[in-house]
Amino acid sequence: MVKFDRNRLKEIIASKGMNARTLAQKTGIAESTIGRALRGENVPQPATLDKIASALGCNKERFFSFEMNGMNFFERLATWQNPEFIQHFLDNSDDETNLVFWKNYLCDVFENGARQEAVDGSLKLIREKGYQYFNQQMKMLQEVKENYGLYMRLDENGEVYIFLPDKEYDHMKNVLGKG
């Protein structure tokens, strides 16, 4: 799960030799707004984050951290609302909304989970092997991804490709090249 990390923002502000007051002056954002973000009382709006990132000379993605908690997208939703509410919402939502929810589910596991090829591949897997098989595979792949830091891609034919992060691949290449 990607979430705003106030500590990362604090570190970046400090590394630039600034504080909430100087950042507020540089951005035109109220000092109280910046203070609330730094204390974790609120998550700044995207436009506010854009101004802060510009003033700090960095990308706003640096203000976020990625946290895996072992739950897939729908399980996390169920912790926010009861499962019956989520089911009712999905049953009564349009196809585009359901597609967005499905892509978020696939993004938990696959690097290309938001792309049409992953959606097509997941639907093909479900048609061929059933939803229960698909869900078991997703849970197993998510655990593999979390435990080993691997990247995964799902193609439109339902084939899963597992690969190393570039840094690990380069390291492996160097080790094998020396041996």
The CA distance from 64 to 123, in Å, is: 31
Number of H helices, E strands in the chain: 10, 4
* Domain ranges, ordered by start, for the chain: 2-66, 73-168
How does pLDDT run across 83-106, given as a tens digit for each residue? 787 778 778 888 888 888 888 889
pLDDT computed for residue 66 by the predictor = 59
pTM: 0.51
pLDDT digits (tens, 9 = 90+) for 112-126: 888 899 999 999 999
- The owner of tokens 């048609």 is 127
Please give the Cα distance from 174 to 30 (Å, whole number): 51
Mean pLDDT of 48-61: 91
> Helix H segments across 69-165?
73-80, 83-91, 95-107, 116-129, 131-148
Using only C-alpha atoms, what is the Rg of the chain? 21
Average pLDDT over the chain, rounded to whole? 85
User: Is the pLDDT score of 68 beyond 60?
Assistant: no
The angle subtended at Cα 116 by Cα 77 and Cα 107, nearest 5°, is 35
What CATH class is the domain 2-66?
Answer: mainly alpha
| Alpha-carbon gap, residue 150 to 125, rounded angstroms | 21
- pLDDT value for 167: 67
- Which tokens go with 68? 């895996």
Confidence grade of residue 51 (pLDDT, cut at 50, 70, 90): very high
Query: By the 8 A CB rule, do 1 and 68 touch?
Result: yes
The pair of three-digit structure tokens given for residue 63, joined into one six-digit string = 């203000």
Closest CA to 49 of 35, 67, 39, 37: 37
179, pLDDT greater than 80: no
